[in-house]
């Protein structure tokens, strides 16, 4: 379904400490964040007017900034309150929340010590990341050409804009083949994650196995679902997983703020069922996030 471009939506965006009309929240074409990817962000969801794990997301935003040598010129409390106010001002209760921080345009070149750090927060309606009908049946994943890099070559613990370039390429390639998303391996050839979500597998014995996040983001939703599984007595094992092992798993699902808990029915040549454990965690997560 067609929708307005994001720069044409109505509402207000919090921009460097004050709310401005949506159309006025702009930055210069020579901003360092655009040219050199000095930009960090968060993805959050509000359910019934409450932003799920807001404080954890804000803490991660500041940690991402620290990793990229960016000192965010506001306090965590400032950002938390601005996120809540943005939700109210735009009249939304169920929404996506996007705080973002980037280097401005004072210096243009790789070096940018004197650039102003700008911060903005936008909120909008985003009901489902994947098509709801396909999601319930289990989405289909291609296996991406691009791999998550060695953490010695990229700041993999930051939610940084530049790290998503290969995700966009992988997702475009997958969608061009009729898939909904792609599985990315890491530089060692081990299972890593999808393009914007963490991945879990369920064995025939009812154990959950998931890659250890040593070169990709340890998602807040990932940690939430691990806790929910363990509360239900389901063993969760974090370990290195080789692609060939996918043949031995019965179920598979993705987790993320946008994806929530999404079943997977296919990854390349491997097939999975939407089983009891996956459905139970979908239900448990839904009950956890909704007030």
Write out the catalytic residue numbers.
159
By the 8 A CB rule, do 193 and 164 touch? no
Question: DSSP string covering 77-97, please?
Answer: HHHHHHHHHHHHHTT-SSEEE
Query: Residue 286 and residue 261: Cα distance in Å, rounded?
Result: 9
By the 8 A CB rule, do 157 and 59 touch? no
Quick one: which of 180, 230, 231 has its CA closest to 210?
Answer: 230
Structure token pair of residue 17? 């400490």
**Burial of 34: CB neighbours in 10 Å, binned 0-12, 13-18, 19+:** middle
In the beta sheet, which residues pair with residue 139?
264
């Amino acid at each position: 379904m067609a929708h307005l471009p994001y720069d044409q939506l109505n509402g207000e965006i919090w921009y460097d400490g004050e709310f401005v009309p949506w159309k006025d929240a702009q930055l210069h074409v020579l901003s360092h964040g655009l040219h050199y990817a000095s930009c960090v962000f968060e993805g959050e969801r509000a359910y019934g007017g409450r932003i799920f794990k807001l404080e954890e997301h804000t803490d991660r935003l500041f940690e991402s900034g620290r990793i990229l040598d960016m000192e965010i010129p506001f306090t965590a409390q400032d950002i938390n309150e601005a996120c809540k106010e943005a939700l109210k001002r735009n009249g939304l209760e169920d929404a996506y929340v996007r705080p973002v921080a980037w280097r401005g345009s004072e210096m243009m070149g790789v070096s940018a010590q004197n650039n102003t750090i700008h911060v903005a927060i936008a909120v909008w309606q985003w009901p489902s990341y994947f098509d709801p009908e396909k999601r319930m049946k289990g989405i289909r994943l291609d296996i991406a050409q691009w791999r998550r890099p060695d953490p010695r070559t990229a700041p993999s613990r930051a939610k940084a804009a530049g790290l998503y370039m290969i995700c966009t390429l992988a997702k475009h390639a997958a969608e061009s083949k009729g898939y909904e998303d792609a599985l990315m391996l890491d530089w060692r050839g081990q299972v890593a994650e999808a393009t914007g979500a963490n991945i879990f597998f369920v064995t025939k014995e009812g154990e959950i196995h998931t890659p250890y996040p040593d070169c990709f983001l340890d998602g807040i939703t990932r940690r939430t679902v691990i806790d929910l599984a363990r509360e239900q007595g389901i063993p969760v094992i974090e370990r290195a997983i080789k692609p060939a092992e996918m043949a031995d798993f019965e179920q598979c699902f993705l987790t993320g703020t946008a994806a929530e808990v999404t079943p997977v029915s296919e990854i390349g040549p491997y097939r999975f069922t939407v089983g009891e454990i996956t459905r139970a965690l979908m239900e448990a997560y839904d009950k956890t996030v909704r007030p």
